[in-house]
Chain A
Amino acid sequence: MSGTAGYLGAMASISAEDVPALYEGAKFYSPAVGDAGRSSVTSWLAGLLERNGPVPLMRVESVAPDTQCVAVCVLGSGSAMADLPPAGDEFVLAVRQIERLQKVRFGAVYPLAAATISALVPVVTAAQLGVPLLDADGMGRTFALIHHTAMHLAGVSPTPLVAVGPTGESVLVEVLSGPRADRMLRANVDTVGGWAALAAYPVDAGTLRRAALPGTMSRITNVGRVLLETTDPEALVTRLGAITGCRRVARGRIAELEHLSRQNDVTIPAHPSSLVVEETGGLGRQLRIELRSEIVAVFADGALIAGAPDLMCLLDVSRGALATLDSLEPGDLIDVLVTPADAVWYSPEGMEMVGLASHGIPLEHPRRR
């Protein structure tokens, strides 16, 4: 599966030159947010890597099993973060609070979700703390809630966790069961400005060897390099297919955007909406792409052809670049790409947590049929 494919060309460190590729690749694994904050966050990271030197990127197996590790990510919306950029110390403050609480010193940082801006902030944090970054993460993409992780499936608790907002305010959460943490956090995230720096899942490296998805940071950098190499959509699809296992299921023009198109479950961010796409070649099918914060399902003439936990993203054919969900417009010509997610998500436990049914679509997954 893609987990092993991603280990092709694993890297030993991340330097300022890798930042553009890291950013693009992170977008492939979560095409949620546009580029409004791109230059701000990439120059912040590049500046840190130039001043503090490259961040070592280590396989989980190559750090001592008793090394204490902590996951970081951006909680909330990337557009909120673009509009209210970090002061710069939020992630370190969050990590330090857990250190004080647990009276430990973290020897490594790892991404909670190696996708979107959440793939860049662990590098920032590692550079600021002067510790290595682990080449592994909890999702291999992004899911909506913070317990949607391989660590949670492996029995690792997300708490104690700390969220620090751009206002400098923070919240510490300790819960008895993982799924309650997200519910307690959401209201706080809105209060501190729509996003927060999250430090969570403090755990030793030995546990992470079986609980995290390996190689995911190297993978997004490789994907990013492909995306920066060419804007020819044909070449892109072929090359991306070779390293991620993705395939193009259709090409078409966006005809319509529908909102509140499914029953709304307010515990999950972003309301359901849909994209109606007229296939331009092939059978001229009508595609229906169901969105939440990510693409959750693709129907062709009413037949389900892909769905969560598959990773689905859109390639803007005329620009030869990824289309982000907040910048779609009727008339855009897009390729619909489907990539298999990490195998753990197709297990019964994984499917129950992040599968189609969790989005209110009670249909059997096409990979199961």
Chain B
Amino acid sequence: MSAPTIGVSLRPERAYAAVVHGATAVPVEPVAPARNDADGVIAAAVAEARRAAPQGADAVTVDIAPVLLDALLRPDSEIPPVAVVRVVPRAATDPVLAQSPAAAVERRVAGRWTVGGGHDLLGNELRPLDRPGLARIAAELAATGIRHVAVVAAGSQARPAHEREVADAIQAAVPGARISVASDYGGQGLTAREATVVLDCALTPLAERLLDRCERTLARLPGDVRLRVARGDGGYSTPSRIRVTPVMAFGATDALELCGAAHLAGLDDCRVLLDRDGSPAAGEVRHRLAVVRLAEQPQLGTELVVPTAALTPEPPGSRGGDVPVIRAPHDQRLLACVGAAIARPASWLDEVAFIESADELERVRRDAEERATAMVMANGAAPGTTHIAEISTVAVPYSPSGTVRIRVRVAGAPDDTPAGR
């Protein structure tokens, strides 16, 4: 049997953990005087894993999403102010269109600027970058003292040139600025892409603090236990990746609870009913992966371009389906811990491409698969263990003939080699 794994769920009020070893999942409770914060719970979990197997655990996967969400929604939290720079052909003329539709996102925005520029979805330039305007804005921004900057350019998924130039100019004007650019995430929709980079900027210091703390705790403990961080899609990534893209960790808890419930029920494919504020909410697990999509985050009021397990309110009475339905019977905090402990490295890619023949479609698909596979290895998968979990290519309606949207999801197995550590 392989080594036990540990899943930790960091909640605002305290931390929870579970040790999963083969088919058994044991909740961990620190015994007083040990504390039930991250340090105390991780230490207790590592000790519990040693009791389960002499070699102890080889990894801890931590879900930091509840703490991130809590900090975002709490007005008094220490989240830094963020400046937003949009690169679009024209500035919005309507105040609502000028800002994010999500109050939780907009609350973090301390200033907004628009630079003329941008591309269409296929990478054609719609307007040359307004360089004099950019210089002016960079100077203004530097004067505000804001150090966290989110940059989003129309069409940067297809051609990031404008976005990069803006980021470079701001970096030069504001030394030490923490800049997030939307082209790092791909995806669809300016609103969702902007919200993603705003959160990314805003959450960076908090994510760093949390991960530093977990790593320090693990360094003090015996054995060589690696830290992993749960992603919104229920997979995991490395702490170094999450430090630069903390928004990937956002919203992980739903997917982890779904996978945890399926694991405890011994099912690869099922529908899981979770309790959300006293009402049942449903999600699905297929091939041991939570079904995720790009959907509006209910607590945020906007979409992001990183996928999460979108739960649906479950109406009373059963529905017709061909998969078993399980009602999560356990403490849901334990489910998240189990889900984190069994998480696998994962990646996701969502792009628009243009094809003119079936051969070209095949080439575009292969190319997307290869890039998603490279991403999952960067997230900690062992070479040779990766597989394409989902792939879909759909024609984009009302777009020029040949425009396709490609989504690829890749999962792998942990890299246990010393080089992979």
Q: A residues within 8 Å of B by Cβ? A: 32-40, 42-44, 46-48, 76-80, 82-89, 144, 166-168, 190, 192-194, 230-235, 251, 253, 257, 259-260, 264, 266, 268-273, 280-281, 291-294, 317-321, 325-331, 333
Contacts and interface: CB of A to CB of B under 8 A. Distances in A.
A270 B190 contact: no
The A interface, classified by DSSP as helix, strand, loop or mixed, is loop
B303 A35 contact: yes
A139 to B, nearest CB: 13
Contact of A80 (B94, B120, B271, B301): B120
Nearest to A264: B401
Contact of A40 (B191, B286, B293, B403): B191
Interface residues of B, number: 67
B155 A83 contact: yes
B154 interface: yes
Given A36-B192, A40-B189, A269-B400, A328 B394 contact: yes
B97 A86 contact: yes
Interface in B75-123: 88-97, 101-102, 118, 120-121
The B interface, classified by DSSP as helix, strand, loop or mixed, is loop
Given A88-B94, A319-B312, A39 B394 contact: no
A270 B395 contact: yes
Contact of B96 (A43, A89, A144, A270): A43
B153 to A, nearest CB: 10
Contacts of B102: 39
Given A76-B399, A87-B94, 14 more contacts: A35-B294, A40-B101, A40-B189, A40-B190, A48-B96, A86-B92, A89-B94, A166-B126, A190-B400, A193-B126, A260-B355, A260-B357, A269-B400, A329-B407
Nearest to B94: A88
B394 A273 contact: yes
A270 B398 CA distance: 5
B171 interface: no
A331 B127 CA distance: 41
Nearest to A187: B400
Contacts of B322: 253, 280, 333
Nearest to A327: B293
24 contacts: A32-B397, A36-B189, A44-B97, A77-B396, A79-B121, A80-B121, A80-B399, A82-B189, A82-B192, A83-B154, A83-B155, A84-B120, A85-B92, A87-B93, A88-B94, A167-B90, A231-B314, A259-B395, A260-B361, A281-B320, A318-B321, A329-B390, A330-B392, A331-B390
